[in-house]
Amino acid sequence: MAGEIQSGMQCVEVEALLAEILDGSLHGATLTSFEAHQHSCAACRTMVEEAKAGMHWLKALDEAEPPRNLVHNILAQTIGALPSEHVPVKPRGEGWLERLKGRLAPMFAPIATPRFAMSFGMAFFSITMLLGIAGFHFADIRNWDLSSKGIRHTYYDTQARVMRYYENMRWVYQIESRVRDLRRAGTPDRSAQPQPQQQQPQQQEAPAPNPKNPSKSENRQPNRQRPNYSRDNGGPMLATFPAAMLAAIPQARQKGSQRTPSLSRLGSQNRRTA
Amino acid sequence: MDDTQAVNALVRRCVSGDAAAWQEIVQQYHRRIYNICYRFSGSADDASDLAQEVFIKMYRTLSTYDTTRASFMTWVTTVTRNLLVDHFRKGKYDRVTDSLDATPGDQEDGLTLADRLEDKGASPEARVRSQETQKLVHEALKRLSPELREAVILRDLQDLDYKDIAKVLNVPEGTVKSRINRGRTELARLLQRNYKQAN
């Protein structure tokens, strides 16, 4: 029993000395009196045996093996570096290009992936295709004039090209001609009557084309004016009307709209007479 | 130069910003710290996380280490133990109170803990050598109270002397011895209770 005096040592003393007993650090008279007490006290004997068994269970446990990446993770979280044993040893005597590559490689590591390379390739292909469709050729770069005069010339040339392209678009001049028709319809008398009188002298002054022996300048003249005719949508045809026919138009309108020749019909008659 | 001076020089180099010195400290102590965490928490994953946290804490507070007060090993163990206690107080690693009659969750052969421990006359050392028995002892260790568990881990697994354990746990040496004895006895009782009942 605890506290009972047996063989010169109390149970409380055994309990206090239990650590030393199990460590084997008891010597001399203390060890002798402990052994005598243990022999006569079953409770202390059991206690010592249990503690001894527990100690043996624990000491026999193997050391747990840490994960392989533990050191790597610790260093990455503290100093943000790899262990030195994992750092590849660079061969001696390498040039500056290799050293530069070695330094740049970690910087570009996040984008040096197949996925990024594929996206970059697709973007490059698309841009090249669009430039090709737009008429841009990389071979023309060497012919570029990068002087201030050349740049200014290129600017105005490009502007003029854009303007020409815009004005020659079908829907643009269709809208323009429609707007012009609407304006003319709003003011019929002023636009119909004085116009032939103003334009007739011009027509008379213009030299008549010689079908037998046409010169170069004569051949070019109608070609250059052709877009203007189409844009004016009937204007120039009115310029060729004879004055007598134009004077008859208001009278015909008064008689009746069914028998009145339309402007387009008059234009075709005029073309036949010319 | 003895070990203590070498370690102190290493710590001084590390405090002055030498990354190689810190790397050497990590290489030297990671196994020990991981094992303390593993035996205390009972889980390998938790032990890995806790060991990393311990080293992060050490890295931040290394300049506060006083070489005159305790050895570096004692300081490292104190940092580890304090962090483990903090985690325990947060309720992460509560004491497992399963009965020895219960079948462990990962063992589906229907045998109880007492059945596994039952051995025909072999010594505890011989029995603990087997992998399965090691697991059983590890599980039984998790069932000890944190005070007893940390005391027996530091003494029987880490081989610290009573004086250093008293510094780490911040309790008198007599209390340390008492906790160690109680921890050993309770562990043996946990492992042998059902076996004795079976007999």
Q: Is the pLDDT of residue B151 over 90?
A: yes
- Tokens 């028998």 label which residue? A259
Q: Is the pLDDT of residue B184 over 90?
A: yes
B23, B52, B185 member nearest A77 (Cβ): B52
Taking residues B58-84, what's their average pLDDT?
Answer: 91
Query: What pLDDT is stored for residue B37 in this prediction?
Result: 94
Query: What pLDDT is stored for residue A5 in this prediction?
Result: 45
Determine whether the interchain pair B184/A50 forms a contact, defined as Cβ–Cβ distance below 8 Å. Answer: yes
Q: Is the pLDDT of residue B8 over 80?
A: yes
- Of the pLDDT bands very low, low, confident and very high (cuts 50, 70, 90), residue B157 is very high
For chain A, which residues make up each domain, given as ranges? 5-59, 148-204+227-243
**Residues from chain A contacting residue B125 (CB–CB below 8 Å):** 56, 59-60
> By the 8 A CB rule, do A36 and B21 touch?
no
Q: Which residue from B minimizes the CA distance to A78? A: B56
A10: β partners:
A5
SS (H, E, C) B136-177: HHHHHHHCCCHHHHHHHHHHHHCCCCHHHHHHHHCCCHHHHH
Show Cβ contacts of residue B136 under 8 Å, excluding neighbours closer than 6 positions: B113, B116, B117, B191
Determine whether the interchain pair A66/B183 forms a contact, defined as Cβ–Cβ distance below 8 Å. Answer: no
Q: Which residue from A minimizes the CA distance to B176? A: A19
* pTM for the full predicted model: 0.53
Determine whether the interchain pair A62/B181 forms a contact, defined as Cβ–Cβ distance below 8 Å. Answer: no
Residues A246, A253: Cα–Cα separation, whole Å: 12
The domains found in chain B, sorted by start residue, are: 3-89 (1.10.1740.10), 113-198 (1.10.10.10)
Of B128 and B171, the one with more pLDDT: B171
> By the 8 A CB rule, do A225 and A189 touch?
no
Cβ–Cβ pairs < 8 A, chains A and B? 122
Q: Is A1 exposed, middle or buried (0-12, 13-18, 19+ CB in 10 A)?
A: exposed
Query: Cα-atom radius of gyration of chain B, to the nearest Å?
Result: 19
Determine whether the interchain pair B23/A15 forms a contact, defined as Cβ–Cβ distance below 8 Å. Answer: no
**Residues from chain A contacting residue B129 (CB–CB below 8 Å):** 60
Q: Is the pLDDT of residue B140 over 80?
A: yes
Query: What pLDDT is stored for residue B93 in this prediction?
Result: 53
> By the 8 A CB rule, do B146 and B90 touch?
no
Determine whether the interchain pair B185/A51 forms a contact, defined as Cβ–Cβ distance below 8 Å. Answer: yes
Taking residues B1-18, what's their average pLDDT?
Answer: 85
Q: How far is CA B40 from the centre of its chain?
A: 5
| Chain A contact probe: residue of B29, B161, B181, B187 with most A CBs at under 10 A | B181
If we measure between CA atoms, which residue out of B79, B86, B95, B72 comes closest to residue B145?
B95
Determine whether the interchain pair A66/B22 forms a contact, defined as Cβ–Cβ distance below 8 Å. Answer: no
Residues A198, A196: Cα–Cα separation, whole Å: 5
A60, A66, A78 member nearest B124 (Cβ): A60
Determine whether the interchain pair B31/A84 forms a contact, defined as Cβ–Cβ distance below 8 Å. Answer: no
Tens digit of pLDDT at every position of chain A (274 positions): 444 444 577 888 888 888 888 888 888 888 888 888 888 888 888 889 899 999 988 988 888 899 988 999 999 888 876 555 444 444 445 567 777 777 777 677 666 677 788 888 899 999 988 888 877 777 777 777 778 888 888 889 889 988 888 888 888 888 988 999 999 888 755 545 555 444 444 444 444 444 444 444 444 444 444 545 444 444 444 445 555 555 655 655 565 544 444 444 544 555 555 4
Q: Is the pLDDT of residue B110 over 50?
A: no
- Of the pLDDT bands very low, low, confident and very high (cuts 50, 70, 90), residue B89 is confident
| Residues of A engaging B, defined by a Cβ cutoff of 8 Å | 15-16, 18-19, 22, 47, 50-64, 66-67, 70-71, 73-75, 77-79, 81, 83-84
Query: What pLDDT is stored for residue B109 in this prediction?
Result: 45
Q: What is the 8-class DSSP label of residue A10? A: E
Best mean pLDDT range from A260-264, B87-91, B195-199: B87-91
| Angstroms from B52 CA to nearest CA on chain A | 5
Least confident of A252-256, B29-33, B60-64: A252-256
**Reported ipTM exceeds the 0.85 cut:** no
Q: Which residue from B minimizes the CA distance to A70? A: B48
